[in-house]
Amino acid sequence: MKGKIAFMPAAHTLEFHEYEVSQVQPGWTLLEVTQSNVCGSELHVWKGEFMAGRGMMPGHELAGRVAALGGGVSRDCAGAPIKPGDRIAPVYFRVCYRCRNCVSGNHAACLNPLPGNPHPDHPPHFTAGFSTHYFIRPEQIFYRVPDNVPDEVAASANCAMSQVFWALDRGRIGYGDSLVVQGAGGLGLHAIAIARARGAYVIAIDGVDGRLNHARRFGADEIIDIRQYPDARARTARVRELTGGPGPDAVLEVAGVPQAFSEALAMVRAGGLVLELGNISRSLTIEFPPSTLTMKSIQVIAMTGYPPHYLKKALDFLSLHIDRYPYGELCDARFPLSRAAEALDKSERREVTRAAVMPQLG
């Protein structure tokens, strides 16, 4: 049996590789990929802003069906029994569980993260989501997807949703807090829903109709349209008007542009919190006076990734809230694996909110 997998060697370039799908070794699990979303980090590479020199095996927000279980594998990482055909979401990275950060619960900052494959030529070849198959390694965390959560929803639990779940936990965002979410893409919408479920008052900022619409339907109390408030001062004034006085308790930056970070610093109340997630490109920089931080006593918590067990929390949240928010609409464009480049292009042009690559479409 042969399988296909995509590789992004440089910006705006996608190539496909074909290999024999090898026998599943003890401790490993083989999935047939049903869906892999286009995430912001893939777009940064696609645009040439991030990791462009090394290339990337795209696809980490994925779900699939068990094609074969290696010897000794009979349960997921929460103890649920699994069998061929079951729907699975794997955590796409591996941490050491031994370093100072892992043992203190901050696995997202693991000091010895285990490396992934740099190129699909390395066996077992299928270790990323823009692919027909996916091998889960023995130490890799994975969970069975709850029956009422479709694959297209489960796929986004992996990166976007687990990441913001962790961020809101680290920021202790809870009942009565006011939170501004900058950017209503995949991360932003998940953050809005989770923050609302915890009783926070949520204001979403974006400049695209479809995204603003979704922000409302995912529970945002208020939205601010960037086209209506084109400069940062006007947006800050509007946020202050809505939150009353000194500004919001917290701002979550998931817009992925440096200007959004400095706007968050300007917007948050004195003594408030900025959760920085969106900026991951070294090449994108901005100047800002560090005195903003000191003079306003602002706390900044920045992070990427999440403790692996957050994927389980995210899947459970989805199962509980699947009818409350329009999760089924999060993926608004579906592409076969052969048209994955088009999925990336349309995402780059923001013609779609969340594009899905679905190998079984052909």
Residues that bind Zn ion (CB under 5 A): 39, 41, 95-96, 99, 102, 110, 159
Residue 224 CA to residue 228 CA, distance in Å, equals: 8
Q: Least distance in Å: CB of 194 to Zn ion?
A: 17
Cβ distance to Zn ion smaller for residue 239 or 255: 255
Cβ distance to Zn ion smaller for residue 235 or 313: 313
Q: Work out the angle at residue 153's Cα, subtended by the Cα atoms of residues 148 and 157, and round it to the nearest 5 degrees.
A: 110
Q: In what order do the strands lie in the sheet with 250-253?
A: 222-225, 201-206, 178-182, 250-253, 273-276, 299-302
Cβ distance to Zn ion smaller for residue 39 or 275: 39
Q: Least distance in Å: CB of 236 to Zn ion?
A: 29
Q: Least distance in Å: CB of 136 to Zn ion?
A: 17
Q: Tell me if the bond preceding 123 is cis, omega within 30° of 0.
A: no
Residue whose token pair is 């927000």: 61
Q: Least distance in Å: CB of 113 to Zn ion?
A: 7
Q: Work out the angle at residue 188's Cα, subtended by the Cα atoms of residues 323 and 206, and round it to the nearest 5 degrees.
A: 115
Q: Least distance in Å: CB of 99 to Zn ion?
A: 3
The DSSP annotation for 37-106 comes to EPPHHHHHHHTTSSSTTT-B----EEEEEEEEE-TT--B-TTS-B--TT-EEEE-S-B--S-SHHHHTT-
Residue 70 near residue 35, CB atoms below 8 Å: no
Cβ distance to Zn ion smaller for residue 95 or 273: 95
Cβ distance to Zn ion smaller for residue 47 or 296: 47
Q: Least distance in Å: CB of 59 to Zn ion?
A: 10
